[in-house]
Amino acid sequence: MKPAFIFGTRPEIIKLVPVIRAFERRGVNPFLIHTGQHYDYEMSRVFLEELELDGIDYHLEVGSGTQAEQTGTAMIKIERVLMNERPDVTLVQGDTNTVLAGAISSVKLKIPVAHVEAGLRSLDRTMPEEINRILADHASEVLFAPTEEARKNLEREGITEGVYVVGNTVVDAVLQNSEMAEKKSDVLERFGLKPKEYILITAHRAENTDSRGNLRKLVEILEALPMRTIYPMHPRTRNRLKEFGLWKRISSIENLTITKPLGYLDFLRLEKNAFVIMTDSGGIQEESIILNVPCLTLRYNTERPETVKAGGNVLVGLEKERALGYLRRLMDDKEFYKRMAEAPNPFGDGKAGERIAKILLELHEKGELKVRSSRFI
């Protein structure tokens, strides 16, 4: 069997490595295509090194651009590779432009697509990621849903064949690397941080950073935080802050430390030891509940509603008083903090990668891994 993995961002790398390793343990060596959607060293290459993923077969160097530019360039370059390699299946993960480009390029060449983390829905079609995940799901033959809720989302859209609930590979990644992060990372010492005495924040989503008004609201929240805060900042966010004239203001916040994007082990250790995590990232909402750290999500909706239902995540949007209210409650009410921190992980047992590799190999052996003429036959 010849599987192709297509990825281009840090979350994709993190979540696909467990599947790649599961194939390798079965004697199957997949070939790897890196689109370069995250285009600088800190944003991607350091993750490859830390996760010992050094056998990239194709670096496509797509880089940045508008949504259409990035997706279109990736499609052109991916198609050339797939026409040359002719894999038995293409695996994509998540909801990035790389995922959309990989899925469409593959299915048009009659190469079946397996979508890892299928069925997530925020129900907000203004988000580019929502469009990507919907289109990728409908282009895929095999859909690996992380939860029963994700499976139901697919069912509501008429997708019932080829769907498998396997758990989320983020659990595999966190369980496999959290102990190593504690041993190898010195990030707390470098920044003078003490466990459970700081807030970790990330914000990079277009809806939060492409609007001057929303970015100003984010800065106002940061100015009001009553605890040491560390913010590993996406280059896009940094550029927007400068463009909107907010960089000087955010840089002057006394208890805020802004860093460049960090490696995976550094970031994992920061997450594990934070008092609370504030984020607009979907993957970090998942990681926080796995690591038993309360999460306040800087959005008004989420494609990870399981985290909210479990009690480990609260949607606060960019409403300063709401965010500060929950933060004060976490600081003052030990029982409330305990309930959020001990919310049950809804994403599985850390064996999703093994299940995915096993299912695909079995489908291939049966001759069932192919693009069907219709989902409804």
Which residues are tagged catalytic?
A: 204
Helix H or strand E segment including 258: strand 256-259
Amino acid 17 reads: V
Longest dimension (CA), the chain: 62
Handedness of CA 252, 237, 170, 289 (dihedral sign): positive
CA distance 144 to 347: 12
DSSP state of 279: E
Are the beta carbons of 284 and 295 closer than 8 angstroms? yes
Are the beta carbons of 265 and 287 closer than 8 angstroms? no
Strands 163-165 and 142-145: parallel
DSSP state of 43: I
Amino acid 214 reads: N
Residue 356: CA count within 13 A, CB half-sphere: 37
Kindly list the distances between the CA atom of residue 149 and the CA atoms of 82, 137, 171, 308, 370, in Å, as whole numbers in the listed order: 33, 15, 17, 13, 26
Helix H or strand E segment including 314: strand 313-315
> Which residues share a beta bridge with 59?
34
CA distance 301 to 224: 23
DSSP state of 115: E
Nearest to 8 by CA among 41, 39, 34: 34
User: Residue 58 in 3-state DSSP?
Assistant: strand
CA distance 322 to 192: 29
User: Residue 338 in 3-state DSSP?
Assistant: helix
Q: How many Å from the N-terminal Cα to the C-terminal Cα in the chain?
A: 26
